[in-house]
Chain A
């Protein structure tokens, strides 16, 4: 079992550009959640996808959007990048039904210059 995998691991973008981050959940999991972790802070919930729909959303602007595919993998898109979007982006997978632990991927380090 490969666990939760994210790509790419590192990314450098310029202000105003757009970026897409990818996540493949742990085998058997159907729910993907995305978190943003700025330097020196705890992870902040961005949104969660289940059955290809956004189920919950944190306090993030509409520049942050996502998608979930039929195979449960997910993408996080950020438009019009700002310097403040520089962070570690973490993907977590889980099962929506029942008590299951959320497993995290290794993260994507995004740097906006």
Chain B
């Protein structure tokens, strides 16, 4: 059964700094998702990573996937307050069953 682990669980960073969130998964996953969740809200899809070496960027966020290491990363560049949220990675098993990590609660401090 697929297991997904994220670290760190909590991240407090200053505006303008860079940081990386790590997502490890235990077995083969069809692909890897990254989601953002604001308090009390649903999940907003950020990235879908389909294959080994995939790299996607949107604004200050960049996600990558290394299927051999079973590792995905979400890199934040020059953080701004609007990026404060909880970020989840999720692996996919057959038939679109998603297994989520525990989430990383990101707080950007002015």
Verify A103–B45 contact, CB threshold 8 A.
yes
Q: Whole-angstrom distance from the CB of B18 to the nearest CB of chain A? A: 25
- Contact A96/B97 with A42-B103, A101-B48, A105-B42 known, Cβ cut-off 8 Å: no
Count of chain A residues near B, Cβ 8 A? 27
Q: Count of A-B contacts with CB under 8 A?
A: 58
Contact of B102 among A41, A56, A103, A104 (CB under 8 A): A41
Interface centre among A43, A90, A92, A107 (most CB of B within 10 A): A43
A contacts with B: majority SS:
strand
Interface centre among A50, A107, A109 (most CB of B within 10 A): A107
Q: Does B70 sit at the interface, judged by CB under 8 A?
A: no
Give bound CA distance, A55 to B95, whole Å: 9
Q: Which residues of A contact B101 (CB under 8 A)?
A: 42
Give bound CA distance, A96 to B97, whole Å: 10
Q: Which residues of A contact B (CB under 8 A)?
A: 31, 33, 35, 41-45, 48, 50, 55-56, 88, 90, 92, 94, 96, 99-107, 109
